[in-house]
Amino acid sequence: LVVVHTFCDASTIAYGVVVYAVTPLRSTRVFTKSRAAPLRPPLSIPRLELMAALLGARLGPRIMRQIGGVRLYCWSDSATVLQWIRRGPKRRDVFVE
């Protein structure tokens, strides 16, 4: 069984995702993607973290389809982003939606 872990993070200058495939015998970095943070308008760290989470959410299933028969876990260290994701769709602002 292969387990895919997607880690998302952001800073004031960039945000990115790294994807690892883990088997009982070894762990391998499968994919990384980073993007520069927009300069105008400058975004807050939670919004950049949300953009990283979106990037991870889009990449994870793509990699799952290529590897086949895996479990996917997405990780973010931002409590704000996790709270935004858990809210119902009626309580989100336009950017988060």
The pLDDT tens digits of the residues spanning 6-52 come to 999 999 999 999 998 888 898 888 889 999 999 888 899 999 999 99
- Give the predicted TM-score (pTM) of the model: 0.85
Give the SS3 label for residue 86.
helix
Q: How distant, in Å, are the alpha carbons of 11, 30, 35, 46, 79 from that of 85?
A: 19, 25, 21, 12, 10
Rounded to an integer, what distance in angstroms lies between the CA atom of residue 71 and that of residue 61?
Answer: 10
The values of phi and psi at residue 74, to 5°, are -110, 130
What six digits make up the tokens of 45?
């760290």
